Amino acid sequence: MSGATEAGAIPDKWGGPAMTTTVETYHSAIRKLVAERFAASGKSWEEAVTDPALELTREDFEKVEAELLATGYRFQMSAVVSLQEEPEKYQAGAGVQNSGNQPTDEQGRLVVGTGQNVFKAKADVTGTARFVGDVETVMALLTEGVPEGTIAVIDDSGGTLTAPILEDFAGVLCMGGTVRSHLGILTREYGVPCLMAAELDGLADGDAILVEYSKPATDAYAERDDAARARVIKV
């Protein structure tokens, strides 16, 4: 009885499917595997849960993953290194598009992106876009110093990858996450202006840009409002 609410009734623990393909696939497969091994063991539940011979192994989980990937499904990466090391398992990152159809602002300048503003800064920030997507780039910036006015363009793993140099950025553009993500929290604490879930079109490394960090912060729970998204303008 899924989702039972009658007095004294016990809700079904597995009352509905998970919200993502990955979680549903793993949960279903593991439940099935445990049930099969338990039934085949002939033991009571109390005996089975303490029997090392019935424990799931790495091979069990790898088998579930292989079966999922065999369907054509690919994981979404949360760090560039995932795609670099196991490209056959991951979807390509959204990255920076270049449609050639970028809109212009009131002054005729190209708008090369928008994003969710983490917090309202005192003023917009003008600086240089620098792509920071791997450990080698971070190490170079750590040892040689972050150039003044650097606005870091990073993927969803930025909170961990750029932690040692985060406070040295003039601003951040993250192509993933939301204002509630780890990176959003870190930049807010450091006082570094940041746009999350940035959608970039026509932006290149080294471009001089202005980012509307002075726009009101994005409501993390509101529906998408394109007019409320802060713009990234090529200058």
pLDDT at 20: 81
Query: Residue 232: is it exposed, middle or buried by C-beta count within 10 angstroms (0-12/13-18/19+)?
Result: buried
How does pLDDT run across 55-95, given as a tens digit for each residue?
A: 999 999 999 999 999 999 988 776 667 777 888 988 876 66
- Render pLDDT for 165-212 as a digit per residue (tens, 0 to 9): 999 999 999 998 899 999 999 999 999 999 999 999 999 999 999 999
Structure tokens at 229: 């998204």
| 128 vs 77: CA distance, rounded Å | 26
Q: Where are the domains of the chain?
A: 1-73, 111-234
Specify the pairing of strand 230-234 against strand 111-117.
Answer: antiparallel
Compare 20 and 182 and report the one with higher pLDDT. Answer: 182
Please calculate the CA angle 113-100-84 and round it to the nearest 5 degrees.
65
CATH 3.20.20.70, applies to 111-234: no
The pLDDT of residue 7 is above 50: no
Distance (Å, rounded) from C-alpha 210 to C-alpha 214? Answer: 11
